[in-house]
Structure 1
Amino acid sequence: MDIAETPTLVHTGAFAKFDRRLGRCVEAVAAVMVVAEAILLGWATTARYAFGAPLTWSDELATVLFVWLSMLGSVVALRRDGHMRLTAFIRGLSPVWRARVDALGLMLVCAVLSAMIMPTWEHVESRIISPTPVLEISEAWREGALIVGIALMLMTAIDKLIQNCTVAQIVGALAATAAAAFALHSAAPFLDGIGNYNLILFFLVLVAFCMVIGMPIALSFILATAAYLQFSTTIPVSIVPGRISEGMSHMVLLAVPMFVLLGALIEIAGLARAMISFLISLIGHLRGGLQYVLLGAMYLVSGISGAKAADMAAIAPALFPEMKKRGARDGDLVSLLNASAVMSETIPPSIVLITVGSVTGVSIAALFTGGLLPAVVGMACLAFVVWFQTRNEDMSKAERHGFGARLKLFAYAIPGLGLPIVIRTAVVEGVATATEVATIGVVYTILVGMLFYRCFDWRKVYGILVDTASLSGAILLVVGAATAMAWALTQSGFSQQLVTLMTAVPGGKVGFLLVSAFAFVVLGSVLEGVPAIVLFGPLLFPIARLMGVNEVHYAIIAVFSMGLGLFTPPFGVGFYLSCAIGRASPDDVIHNVWPHLAAMVVALLLIVFFPWISTGFL
């Protein structure tokens, strides 16, 4: 048998058994961290509002748990292939070349994680003697999560490499990685001498190459940042773990795992189904009625889970079967679902909006207020497309609900309808922080599912906790990695060069906004919303202020544009998520998606040219 066909290790035996046990252990601890975070935040919120005695130490302890949750969740995400990555290029490769490229991607993951072990250990050591302000415990308790997480991710990457790749693929990938490292080491004096032109090599060419071969975006950022510092500066690489920790430790980001958990609980508690049933009773008998229901349901549910896949998955299965009975084509249904996810990107409490507030300092309450009307504009544009496509729909067999049935369904849906309204109102009015409201929402959803809808399935809770940790880890590692990369770009002087370039754009403020919108569409298609905003938000938002652009208006343009890029084929990962959820082939859907995306382009232009849409209610 040829060596290229011989795996280095089969999936059975002591190694595979150890791997499975380690995976279960990491997942269990990550799930416990989610529960611990929820209990701590719930306890702190109760103490503050019910007893008027805030726990002064709760935020500090929550941050320590949060960093551990982020790193362990990143490990779970790596085991499950749950990290954000670009797959548009490798999807069409032949099986042989796909295996080779996957091996190279895994080898680069192993290389960057191996290279980060010692710098991270040095960073943790430097924090041992530094006490936290309130608890007065060593900061190493928090920073230790970094070294544990990186070590476990390295073990996971090596395991995937050994079990999924052949000897020949591993040797080839190792040789290519070693050759690239040697070339960079040999070129270090040259790279140091060409100034900021070396940024093109590290932050454009290297990042683009890593993403094209399907390497996780977060680890691509870390690899580029570490390579830049190592081969073209005198700054120690040990600065990178500190910047990653700083990026993940913002208190406002505590809302991320809580909203992810809340979104998953809404589905199993029955709230989403109750809301959809009520909307169907109101307008389901009209031409295009179910399409309008889909838009309304996405408006109500969206933003709570932090993952558009979860939002779409909660709505599509309840509507698509009946829509198909009425003659709707798969391509039109999935393209509408896809565009509705774009429309809803600015709806609070969006994880991307929370991230914007975290990295730019813009008020989250203002962002939540400013995001409501732009989504309505997007919904109106899509509603016009729906009206045009369904104007001849046969409604003779559509079920009509009487006033009594509608009233009964409304009463049944009140607990579900109340949740998104309460959440958005509480944060927008400043009654509670996003994190506190998310925690309250989790408790509310569990109680409503158990006592009112009586369909809360406790058997699914453990899986939900692990999924929450995985998705949160994937999001937050990107935030940390992009924070480190943005810091490196700022230290290089690139931010000043970017200011000069963007302020010279013809057309003044409007020209700057149009160029920014186009840039964020492109960034959203390859980076997704969170990494794009963390990486470029700190660079572009100061320019927007310098140009006299309202920061909330600019944030809404950025988020809407990135959503448009994320769900636009062929590169937008969100488009393929929509197809998977709608159980349709991308080749069939891609021909139908353009009218709906054109409506989103119109909505984006309206948001750009009419700032009042974003700022009128501030």
Structure 2
Amino acid sequence: MVADDDTLPQVSENPEARKGSRYLWPVEFVAAILMVGIVALLFLGVVTRYFLNLPLIWVEEAASLCFLWLAMLGAAIAIDRNEHLRLTLIVHLLPARLQAFVEALALVVVATFLIALFPSAFEYAVAEWAITTPALQIPGTIRAAAIPFGMGLMLLLVAVYALQTYKLWHLVVSAVFIGAIGGVLWLASPTLISIGSSSLFLFLLAFVSLALAGGVPIAFCFGIGTLSYLAFGTHVPVFVMIGRIDEGMSGVVLMAVPIFVLLGCILDATGMGKAIVAFLSAILGHVRGGMSYVLLGSLFVVSGISGSKVSDMATVAPALFPEMKRRGNKPPQMVALLATGAAMADTVPPSIILIVMGSVAGISIAALFTTGIVIALVLLMVLAILARFLARTDDMSGISKAPRSVVKQTLVVAIPILILPFMIRFAVTDGIATATEVSTVAVLYALIVGATLYGGLSGRKLYDILVETSALTGAILLILGTALAMAWAITQAGVAHQFARMMSDLPGGWISFMALSIVMFIVLGCVLEGLPAIVLVSPLVFPISRQLGINDVHYAMVMITAMNIGLMTPPVGIGFYLACRIGDGRPDEAIKAIWPFLGALLVGCLIIAFLPWISTFLL
């Protein structure tokens, strides 16, 4: 498949993202204040507990209240900016007229979900008035009201944008089409209920798949599938779904997600990442394949600070690619190495995926952080071996070793930021602080070091970063909320038990189960970003892996590695197109170059899967 710049799947950092409505600035301002408040509250908790020996039990409650409001306001900002994660590859292949109609239909699907769920969200918030928080002694409605408020605001923004952008007849026909489907399902509801869990496949496979192909944001794909199943295929009240969404968005551990996203933005904006790249270039740039080693090493180190693949690639590519091109490296190969290197580094703490995995699957985050470094090193090794092989014919004439003075100078500049990943890992793995707590310390450290040694940030730039962090946080957490609701529906339908029996009966024991899991995770990674896939699949597969005696941390590493391979696999993998966009490469050229690197990652995945001691020897 050949794709040009106008046919790329759009993700949260997509070029189609809008600046946002100027009328939404009060919401953006409140979101920025909430972001600052969460960091301040959690840091206050760390200081009073560890330094003053005076734990403040109300801090976590206050931060949780701010967190849900941040998530819902951020989701609305992401709607306004068109930054919700979605797959538009198929839509962009359609003729222009049909494409406009499908895009309008996708907006009507989003609006339908919000309209249908809003009454239950309001009812849920009112019901929370009877629940008083233990420490602050305030009604739960103050926190839960964020859900109906956010949904109402999203609905308003969707309606305004749809009316301003698409022809009225597109919207009317789309609404009639959705209404007709709803009418048919209502008439067929008794039959769908009578056939039991079999109807789940209609709603959660057909509906979700069609919505995903039609460019509906992933969070709303999960939401509309689950909502339809509950409304037409069961007697379960839709009200229950709001509780599951709240649960999926409100985990205390998940508070680390926006803070590490903020950290990655600060790292990129202050130029701290470039200091790391400069140091690695000075010590490795002169060897054969050296710039490939620098690229991989930079992604490894930077990922230990930012926690986000996007931040990693955006920090490293602009700093390295000009010099790599000057030395004769081919752009398609550079983009391929960037994509697979980012996939390799996704298990380096404080990876957001590791934090979510620990929260969803009930695995120690400290154990995941400890093993994640080892797994990333294994993948780094196989990619470095391949890069060295491909560089065997490079012309090294005119490339000299950097003077010792340059090495020392770049090291001095990089030391303050090189300390940070070790500080994060040590604090979490040694039990000094949780992933959430250490994230606040890391952000404040980066702000201070960035201001004093790397030029700092202007007030306007910092505000923009806070708003952007809020939007990305809202997009991520809404996916987690709807995905958890969908996973709950799957479990309640009994599909999990049927799936478990099928997988458990496979011949070959844990080895065949692991092989099938790798294939399944690669396919899931192709069509879904890692976070929603983890939330959906974890409740199904971890009970089986435990029954077969597979260590949780070992299985988690295989799961993440395989999904990242799928994420970077063309022609569907969203991460591949994101790497092309950041690396300014043509997808049709990069497709040809990426397969050897994906093959190396697959070899690394098989090594990790079938040599369990690699994942467990440090635990």
TM-score, scaled to structure 1 = 0.95
Structure 1 unaligned runs (5+)? 1-18
Aligned to 1:290: 291
1-structure distance, mates of 2:400, 2:112: 60
User: What amino acid sits opposite 1:479 in the alignment?
Assistant: L
Give the partner amino acid of 1:462: Y
Cα distance per residue 1:4-57 (max 9 Å; x no partner): xxxxxxxxxxxxxxx934322222211111111111111111111221111110
Q: Which residue of 1 aligns with 2:232?
A: 231
Q: Alpha-carbon deviation of 1:399?
A: 4.3
List aligned pairs for 1:401-480, cutoff 5 A. Answer: 401-480=402-481
> 1:587 corresponds to which residue?
588
Residue 60 of structure 1 and its aligned partner are, at CA, apart by 0.8
Aligned twin of 1:248: 249
CA distance in structure 1 between the aligned counterparts of 2:552 and 2:58, rounded to whole angstroms? 33
Cα deviation code 1:360-419 (max 9, x no counterpart)? 110000011111111111111111111111112122222421222212221221101111
Residue 322 of structure 2 corresponds to residue 321 of structure 1 = yes
Q: Note if 1:274 corresponds to 2:280.
A: no
Question: What is aligned with 2:29?
Answer: 28
Distance in structure 2 (CA, Å) of the matches to 1:563 and 1:604: 10
Distance 2:336 2:193 in 1: 48
8 Å Cα contact 1:221-1:482 kept in structure 2: yes
User: Partner amino acid for 2:467?
Assistant: V
Q: Tell me if structure 1 keeps the 8 A contact 2:304–2:421.
A: no
Q: Write the distance in 2 (CA, Å) between the matches of 1:458 and 1:130.
A: 39
- Answer yes or no: is 1:389 the counterpart of 2:390: yes
Q: Counterpart of 2:96 in structure 1: which amino acid?
A: P
Question: How many angstroms does 1:453 deviate by?
Answer: 2.4
- Matched residue SS, 1:590: helix
Q: Which runs of 4+ in 1 moved over 4 A?
A: none
Q: Residue 269 of structure 1 contacts residue 445 of structure 1 at CA under 8 Å; is this kept in 2?
A: no
Distance 2:539 2:304 in 1: 23
The residue number in structure 1 matching 2:344 is: 343
CA distance in 1, matches of 2:232, 2:307: 37
Contact 1:191 1:232 in 2 (8 A): yes
Partner of 1:481: 482
- Amino acid across the alignment from 1:285: H
SS at match of 1:592: helix
Measured in 2, the distance between the counterparts of 1:597 and 1:433 equals 34
* RMSD of aligned Cα (Å): 1.2
Shift of 1:546: 0.8
Structure-2 residue corresponding to 1:195: 196
| 2:558 corresponds to 1:557 | yes
- Summarize deviations over 1:422-443 as a string: whole Å, max 9, x none: 1112111211100111100001
Structure 1 residue 614 displacement after superposition: 1.2
Partner of 1:144: 145
Moved more, 538-547 or 84-93: 84-93
Asked whether the equivalents of residues 268 and 457 of structure 1 are also in contact (C-alpha less than 8 Å), the reply is no
Q: Where does structure 2 lack aligned partners over 5 or more consecutive residues?
A: 1-19
Contact 2:35–2:70 (8 Å) recurs in 1: yes
Residue 126 (structure 2) aligns with: 125
Conserved? CA contact 1:340–1:379, under 8 Å: yes
CA distance in 2, matches of 1:334, 1:440: 33
**Who is 1:611 aligned against?**
612
- Following TM superposition, by how much is the alpha carbon of 1:126 offset from its aligned partner in structure 2, in angstroms? 1.1
Match of 1:577 in 2: 578
How many Å separate the matches in 2 of 1:427 and 1:353?
12
For residues 460 and 34 of structure 1, the distance between their equivalents in structure 2, rounded to whole angstroms, comes to: 15
Cα shift at 1:458? 3.6
Identical positions, percent: 45
What displacement does 1:532 show? 0.6
Which residue in the other structure is 1:99 paired with? 100
Once the two structures are TM-superposed, the CA of residue 303 in structure 1 deviates from its matched residue by 5.2
Contact 1:259/1:306 (CA < 8 Å) preserved in 2?
Answer: yes
SS for the counterpart of 2:592 is coil
Q: What is the CA distance between 1:356 and its match in structure 2?
A: 0.7
Cα displacement string for residues 510-534 of structure 1 (whole angstroms, at most 9, x for unaligned residues): 1111111111111111111100111
Work out the CA distance in 1 between the residues paired with 2:73 and 2:135.
Answer: 25
**Aligned partners of 2:315 and 2:110: how far apart in 1?**
33
Q: What amino acid sits opposite 1:505 in the alignment?
A: L
Q: TM-score, normalised by structure 2?
A: 0.95
AA at the equivalent of 1:376: L
Aligned residues: 600
Equivalent AA in structure 1 for residue 555 of structure 2: Y
2:601 counterpart residue number = 600
Aligned twin of 1:208: 209
| 1:219 alignment partner in structure 2 | 220
Q: Is the 8 A contact 1:255 1:434 kept in 2?
A: yes
**How far apart in 2 are the matches of 1:402 and 1:482?**
53
Match of 1:11 in 2: none
Cα distance in 2 for residues equivalent to 1:272 and 1:582: 16
Instruction: Determine whether 1:506 maps to 2:494.
Output: no
The answer to whether the aligner puts 1:115 opposite 2:143 as a matched pair is no
**Quick check: 2:21–2:80 contact (8 Å CA) kept in 1?**
no
* Conserved 8 A contact 1:303-1:351: no
Q: Secondary structure at 1:591's aligned position in 2?
A: helix
Residue 369 of structure 1 is matched in structure 2 by 370
1:16 paired residue number: none
Q: Deviations over 1:269-318 (max 9, x none)?
A: 23211111110110111111111001001001115434312110000000
Quick check: 1:548 aligned with 2:517? no
Match of 2:64 in 1: 63
CA distance in 1, matches of 2:224, 2:305: 32
Q: Tell me, in whole angstroms, the C-alpha distance in 2 between the residues paired with 1:264 and 1:131.
A: 36
Q: Which residue of 2 aligns with 1:43?
A: 44
Is contact 1:269–1:457 with CA below 8 Å preserved after alignment?
no
The one-letter amino acid of 1:597's match is L
The question of whether the paired residues in 2 share the 8 Å contact of 1:26 and 1:72 is answered with yes
How far residue 144 of structure 1 moved from its aligned partner, in angstroms, is: 0.4
Contact 1:334-1:579 within 8 A present in 2 as well: yes
Contact 1:303-1:345 at 8 Å conserved across structures: no
User: Structure 1 residue 492: deviation in Å?
Assistant: 1.0
User: What does the per-residue CA deviation read over 1:89-143, in whole Å, with 9 as the maximum and x for residues that have no partner?
Assistant: 1121222111111011000001010001111111111111111121111000111
**Could you tell me which amino acid in structure 2 is paired with residue 118 of structure 1?**
P
Structure 1 residues 47-89: Cα deviation after superposition (integer angstroms, max 9, x where no partner): 1122111111001111110000011111111111211212221
For 2:124 and 2:144, the matched residues in 1 are separated by 8
Q: Do the aligned partners of 1:269 and 1:448 also contact (CA within 8 Å) in 2?
A: no
CA contact (8 A) 1:258 1:438 kept: yes
